[in-house]
Amino acid sequence: MTPLYRRIALRLIPLLMLLYFVAFLDRVNISFAALTMNRDIGISASLFGVAAGMFFFGYFLFEVPSNLILVRVGARRWIAAIMFVWGVVSVSTALVHGPVEYIALRFLLGAAEAGFFPGIILYLTFWLPPAVRSSIIAVFVAAIPLSNLIGAPISAHILLMNNQLGIKGWQWLFLLEGAPAVVISLFVPALLPSRPEEVHWLSAEEKQQIARDLREAEPPHAAASHSFLQMFAAQPAIYAWSFIYFCLTIGIYGLGFWIPTVLVSHGMTLRQLSWAAALPYLVAILGALWWNRRSDRLGERRLHLAGAYVAATAGFLLAALAPNAAVAITGFSVAAAGVIAAMPVFWSASTLELAGPLLAAHIAVINSLGNLGGFVGPALMGWLHQTTHSYLAGLIALALALLLGALTSARLCKA
């Protein structure tokens, strides 16, 4: 990585990681809240899976328009607006009294967050050529395991605040973890530049270098102009990329929403969960950074993408067959490393191959269709657990989904 792009990364990525950390924590903290909330508001295991996944229907419906609005109004204003809204919705979850209210707020949270992740991926294409994008996206998406690594012990300890000031532990969880999004959103317009040409810390020559690098990296078809519908008809591969991402999100959210309850089924206490649920994500951070640096250094995407999916498959199978909590944690660590390592390679490869005038829409379509796996994974786990009274079938189903993703990515990815 050249000094120019290293400097850009140091300027942008810490703030983006903080924003994604807050977003992902608000998205998955229900995995801890469920340990006491489900009983209080009358939610079964299968209904919890449906409610957890309802987030992604809101995501699906609002993602494409949200990304197109970002292009029109600029990153700084739009990211700040959606952060404020999702923070308010997250805090409001502390007030639910039954399943209907809870499911409705999960839908609204998904609608509010819909434009964030695809918007940031698009935003990074304004600044970074493909040669460095995978490594830097890997650092950005490290916010996912960090939100679990740091958030797991925090969430476990917040639950222990049960009945302080007459507020239940799971209510404290939503109040204390939702508020940061509201507060941080007020500072985003002043801290986040929309494009390279807006900043004072790049010279005119450096801005020209960025524009030249981005232009030279575009594939030949990128310059062509088409209508919205023609673009999607001309690139049917967008739906194959969506399927690959669908398989990945089944794994990511099946993991994120169910690790605590699976480990509790192996006899772990709430206090033990504070470190046990975090450990897989520490492994994921280290593994993902190494894997994506290797991918950028070799300029190879296909085998790195498929290999990460295969590792996640093996991890879920190990967790499914685990005779005790220690082996389950090992399996979840391998699975977490695989799914987190796969994400940056996926976005680096897909944004390169789909580059063009409708890249914003392409990213949003892939992310919205793919994130439906975030509904399927938790809901399937919940249904299979309620049907079989075991987590074995659900974890094997997650492993099979990732194996399908590995096979598809090996065939589709060209780089």
User: What pLDDT digit, counting tens, does each position of 349-363 carry?
Assistant: 887 766 665 666 777
Within-domain flag for 222: no
pLDDT in tens, 358-377: 666 777 788 878 888 888 88
Q: Which of 28-37, 194-203, 211-220, 354-363 has the highest mean pLDDT?
A: 194-203
Within-domain flag for 202: no
Would you say 139 and 51 are in contact if contact means Cβ atoms under 8 Å apart? no
Owning domain of residue 164: 11-191+228-412
Within-domain flag for 294: yes
pLDDT in tens, 291-307: 988 888 888 888 999 99
**Lookup: tokens for 326:** 């220690």
Above 90 in pLDDT, residue 174?
yes
pLDDT in tens, 20-51: 888 878 877 887 888 888 888 888 877 877 77
Instruction: For residues 357 and 13, give the distance between their C-alpha atoms in angstroms, rounded to a whole number.
Output: 25
Within-domain flag for 249: yes
Within-domain flag for 253: yes
Q: Tell me how far apart the terminal alpha carbons of the chain are, to the nearest angstrom.
A: 19
Within-domain flag for 347: yes
Within-domain flag for 209: no
22-36, 229-243, 325-339: range with lowest mean pLDDT: 229-243
42-46, 318-322, 341-345, 352-356: range with lowest mean pLDDT: 352-356
Q: Which amino acid makes up residue 23?
A: A
Above 60 in pLDDT, residue 221?
no
Number of domains in the chain: 1
CA distances from 214 to 89, 147, 343 (A): 38, 31, 21
Percent residues over pLDDT 70 in the chain: 92
Above 70 in pLDDT, residue 232?
no
Domain of 132, CATH number, reads 1.20.1250.20
Within-domain flag for 343: yes
66-70, 121-125, 141-145: range with lowest mean pLDDT: 141-145
